[in-house]
Chain A
Amino acid sequence: MEFLVASAIGILTAGGLYLTLRLRTFPVILGISLLTYAVNVFLFASGRLTVGAPPILTKGVEVYADPLPQALVLTAIVISFGMTAVVVMIGLGAFLGADDDHVDDQPEGDDKAAEGAQ
């Protein structure tokens, strides 16, 4: 089981990294979302994996999953929604304003940036 979760984290990271390195805003945003999944699952897994023992206190039950990473990841999920929304809005605003959804500075723009990009 641990192998499955760890490899899932690895694959999500790899996919996220690849998409983050693309040149247009939309795939980059999706890549960041994949990285968010990877990070959240990683943080969650720091409480180690427990099957069938949710941290809901019940009489007679002694073993519970670690509640702390769960609480931290819960807020992280909500915050990452807010972050994604802001990034999408910035990307969209840039596209609507310049009719260009490249992530990098484009050569016809600023002279100095153009020198660097070549």
Chain B
Amino acid sequence: MSLFFIVALPFFGALLPGLMNSAGRAATAGVTFTVTLAAFIGLLTNLPSVLAGDVVMARIDWMPLLGLNFSLMLDGLGFFFALLILGIGLLIISYGRNYLSCDDNVGQFFTYLLLFQGAMVGIVLSDNILLLLVFWELTSLSSFLLIGYWKHLPEGRQGARMALAVTGMGGLAMIGGMLMLGQIAGSYDLSVILQNRELIQADPLYVPALILILLGCFTKSAQFPFHFWLPHAMAAPTPVSAYLHSATMVKAGIFLMARMWPVLSGTPEWFVIVTTAGLITMVLGSVIALFKHNLKALLAFSTVSHLGLITMLLGTGTAFGAMAAMFHILNHATFKAALFMSAGIIDHEAHTRDIRRLGGLRKLMPITFIVASLAALSMAGIPLLNGFLSKEMMLEEANHTVLFNTPWLVPFLATIGSLFSAAYCFRLIGHVFLGPVRDDYPAKPHDPGAGLWLPPAILVVLVVVIGIAPFLAEPFVKLVTASVLGEAAEVPKAYFKIWHGLVPALYMSIVAVVGGLIMLAVFKPSLRIWDALPRPEAKVIFEAIVESVATLARAIILPLHNGAFSRYAAIAAITMVAVGYHAWSTGTIAAPTRDMQPANAVAIGGWLMLVAATAGMVMMHRNRLLSLILIGIVGLMVSVGFVFFSAPDLAMTQFTVEVVTIILLLLALNFLPNMTPIESSVLRRVRDASIAIFGGLATFALSYHYMLRDAVTAPISEFHLANSYKGGGGTNVVNVILVDFRGFDTYGEIIVLGIAALLIYALTETLLGGPVRARLLNRKPDQKRAGNQHPMMMVVLTRGIMPVVLLVGFYIFLRGHNEPGGGFIAGLIVSIAVVMQYMASGFGWASARLRYPYHGVIGAGVLIAGFTGIGSWFVGKPFLTSDFTYVRIPPFEEFELATAALFDLGVFLAVVGAVMLSLESFSRLARQAGGPESEHAMEIDPSRDDPKEQAAKEAV
């Protein structure tokens, strides 16, 4: 099966359990098992080529320019880890099906599990280190979901957060390290990086890259001083712990160290850092584990200790060490998963996992006793079990390792670690299973169904088989070791066997086992000493660090981000002016290349009006109606300015937009207070005024300098002028740019406009559906209403003017391509004509005559514009290619037909719809407040029969 499928199966399969949640526990677990099994079988189909020593590759270029390619590779090492992940995954799934209770959301659990599994498989099969980073982060995220699966437990949430924080930070460091590594090697492909050992180790960036990558590995694999998150991740359901601790998550760091072994190892830096961290972790973990009373906590610290052991072996940098590490990964995965599942069984049956409350379970749970004891003895390093073999190899390797010029240091510490390791294993067996049967268990323990004990039992069979016949595992471990070593070293010749003769490792082993038994005998007094000793609590330290960082963040963010939007605006303005000033003062300013044009009286007059209106707005902004009138003057002067500076289209647009904006603001002002009260202090106003003046000066200086200089490179405007008629068939270059050259922009813009209008409509709906409606209905107008709301003169005038305005709109639309005009302006003009009807006769009257809803008009506009664009596909041209032709239909003159006109029609409709929908929404609010409306067009209508007059007539 292609490697892509193996990686993709868990991810796609993750959808199934979530969707099938209602189908029940058995079905969801079944489908999860099937998906994993499919990936597992897919992996096994690649076994022959892996055994033949080939590297299976699969590659799709994803972002080749960034060096990020979706390339996968399967060699011995990748196969080994994928086998562990999927194989133990299968056992965990069948165990989890029986372990989780009916109250748990099983579908969610298996979805998370499959996501996690997919991410892990992705890590071990990645050939591209950037891709590996993506999967690496995915494991952090999905393990966060898994650890915090029991959301109701505070320990679960805290443990998940801690795991995410620690592994996430490590991942961040690792991204830096990987990028450096890629820079040095000139490629992000592992297959290239692994070939460049000398180049990488000689580079000055080698040490920083090494440290950053190791930070990622150490956090993930819980190496000292980052070991503290792992025990807290225990709050997860036991199947998760068993999976995370045996085959996945924590093995990811180890995997990466093994993967990078050929290029990173062998230097003094690697040796000192990795071996020391591993040794400390091994000893510390085993000592703490001995004194833990919680069964899962004991196992968690033992995991920490064993990870330290493997790390130390990889740190030694010798081929034998690497081989021992690989062998121990295999053995640890088998016995640790079995032990975790056994711990879960005890917790499940006895309802406690406190060792002090257990004991004597040997008679009550014989099957669990056998399974757990064999696994624990293997962990303790008892002969004929697999743990003994790799521990022996570790001690052998330790014997040859000299750290800090002290030959006895490593062997001594390794023996101490093994001694405590044996001690906690013996304690596990002795204090949980042996001893008298008690009568105070929280629940009466008994052996569970086969669904729970079979998965660990399968693993224990492996433990025993490898332990008795190590030669069965030897070829496979050597194959894996070969792919770890790459071309950096030869696979050691040493054979796997139980009896190596009277070598130092054997004596160390004997010391460890005997010492472990003695430790157990003196457990009570040593526990008292341990409890009396002061020791740092990692969780407290971690939380103190997090709290201090959070305090710092709060101290910076809260003053800046305090909910006062005017403060944000001030900060933004000051920052922009400051940055602009910096650029201004550090850059160079070329001499002016253009002459200043003389100003005539008209221009000065317009300028004076604009300045006066703006100043008046600022001075009198408290009077809202007045400031609205003044902003109208400003808009008018801007439009006049556009006319003056040869932009007739802009002037028309600005002018019509001005009209609808003022109507809109008037509608809003209807509900708002008429005056703005004085609230800010003088100081505050001085501050704001200074910000405003500096901002104004800055834009003045920028635009003044800008206008007096020609563009540095020739602008593309010449192209548009030259091709407007030839290519676009229109003489109004602005309109041709809008509907043709940059038609795609315009298409996007009318969609944005339509969305804005729909947003306003939606907001209105929400307001009218909520408590605001009642408030509007009870609202008393703060000013006197007009006696005659719909005066006859206005009604008659707007009715008369309507066809004229529509005609003008039509004319403006048609001539747009060649003369100032076009869809935008025509749309605005037509909107104004319609709005006038609303104003004259009221909302009720006008909307009763509305034939097409405005949403539909917007939609039709966007669709017409879109289909015009798509139309060009049918003649094999790209989207929105325009075409035009000239036709002559007698008795008319020759005229032009252009597809651009159709596009412009779409623009026209979208603009009409958007403007009208916005204004209509505002008027709907007003209508709620205005009370019942008359259905007549005007209040006083002479043609309508007055009831009084009618009565008078009848009386005659």
Contact = CB atoms under 8 A, between A and B. Distances in A.
Contact of A57 (B569, B696, B724, B915): B724
Nearest to A76: B749
B767 A93 contact: yes
Interface string A6-34: 11111111111111111111111110011
A70 B558 CA distance: 43
Given A19-B621, A64-B646, 7 more contacts: A2-B708, A15-B617, A16-B692, A56-B819, A58-B731, A66-B715, A95-B672
Contact of A5 (B688, B707, B734, B914): B707
Nearest to B577: A17
B646 A52 contact: yes
Contact of B699 (A38, A103, A110): A38
15 contacts: A1-B599, A4-B604, A7-B607, A11-B700, A13-B698, A17-B688, A34-B614, A45-B707, A52-B646, A82-B752, A88-B664, A97-B771, A110-B563, A113-B563, A116-B562
B624 interface: yes
Interface string A79-105: 111111110111111011100010111
Interface in B646-694: 646-650, 653-654, 657, 660-661, 664-665, 668-669, 671-673, 676-677, 679-680, 688-689, 691-693
B772 A96 contact: yes
Contacts of B680: 22-23
A49 B615 contact: no
B717 interface: yes
B922 interface: yes
B617 A10 contact: no
A99 B30 CA distance: 57
B695 interface: yes
A105 B641 CA distance: 39
A118 to B, nearest CB: 9
A30 B631 contact: yes
Contacts of B406: none
Interface stretch (B152-160, B433-441, B737-745): B737-745
B657 A78 contact: yes
B911 interface: yes
Contact of A9 (B604, B644, B691, B700): B700
Q: Which 3 A-B pairs have the closest CB atoms?
A: A116-B562, A14-B696, A10-B700
Contacts of B631: 30, 33-34
B746 interface: yes
Contacts of A34: 614, 617, 631, 634
Contacts of B665: 29-30, 88
Contacts of A79: 749, 752-753, 756
B545 interface: no
Nearest to A95: B672
B756 A50 contact: no
Nearest to B679: A23
A8 B640 CA distance: 13
Nearest to B762: A89
B292 interface: no
B125 to A, nearest CB: 47
Contacts of B673: 101
Contact of B696 (A5, A17, A30): A17
Contact of B669 (A18, A26, A73): A26
Contact of B759 (A20, A71, A86, A103): A86
Identify which of A10, A55, A104 gathers the most chain B CB atoms within 10 Å of its CB. Answer: A55
Q: Which of A64, A101, A105, A110 has the most CB of B within 10 A?
A: A64
B703 A116 contact: no
Interface in A34-58: 34, 37-38, 40-42, 44-58
B546 interface: no
B627 interface: yes
Interface stretch (B446-454, B590-598, B803-811): B590-598
B649 A70 contact: yes
A106 B820 CA distance: 49
B860 interface: no
B646 A53 contact: yes
A81 B657 contact: yes
Contacts of B647: 44, 54, 65, 70, 73
Contacts of B615: 11, 15
Contact of B664 (A2, A13, A51, A85): A85
Given A6-B707, A34-B614, A105-B564, A92 B700 contact: no
Contacts of B716: 68
Contacts of B604: 4
A101 B649 CA distance: 37
A81 B707 contact: no
B916 to A, nearest CB: 11
Interface of B: 558-559, 561-567, 569-570, 573, 594, 596-599, 603-604, 607, 610-611, 614-615, 617-618, 621, 624, 627-628, 631, 634-635, 638, 641-642, 644-650, 653-654, 657, 660-661, 664-665, 668-669, 671-673, 676-677, 679-680, 688-689, 691-693, 695-704, 706-708, 710, 715-717, 720-721, 724-725, 731-734, 737-738, 742, 745-746, 749, 752-753, 756-757, 759-760, 763-764, 766-767, 770-772, 775-776, 818-820, 824, 828, 911, 914-915, 918, 921-922, 925
A42 B733 contact: no
**Interface centre among A53, A67, A80, by most B CB within 10 Å?**
A67
A26 B350 CA distance: 68
A50 B559 CA distance: 48
B703 A6 contact: yes
A2 B596 contact: yes
Contacts of B648: 54, 56
B646 A117 contact: no
Contact of B749 (A16, A49, A75): A75
A7 B707 contact: no
A6 B574 CA distance: 20
Nearest to B779: A96
Given A88-B665, A113-B563, A67 B737 contact: yes
Contacts of A22: 566, 621, 676, 680, 688
A25 B598 CA distance: 41
Contact of B573 (A17, A49, A104): A17
Contact of A89 (B638, B654, B764): B764
Nearest to A7: B700
A116 B669 CA distance: 31
Contacts of A9: 699-700, 703
A4 B717 contact: no
Contact of B646 (A27, A55, A95, A96): A55
A47 B716 CA distance: 11
B691 A26 contact: no
A93 B766 CA distance: 9
Contacts of A5: 641, 645, 703, 707
A2 B704 contact: yes
A33 B661 contact: yes
A18 B692 contact: yes
Given A67-B737, A89-B764, A12 B820 contact: no
Contact of B614 (A12, A24, A45): A12
A11 B562 contact: no
A80 B660 CA distance: 12
Given A21-B692, A56-B820, A96 B671 contact: yes
B738 A71 contact: yes
A109 B657 CA distance: 37
Contacts of B562: 105, 113, 115-117
Contacts of A117: 562-564
B912 to A, nearest CB: 12
A12 to B, nearest CB: 6
A29 B666 CA distance: 13
Contact of B695 (A17, A27, A46, A74): A17
A110 B561 CA distance: 14
Given A26-B624, A82-B914, A97 B772 contact: yes
B36 to A, nearest CB: 47
A101 B672 contact: yes
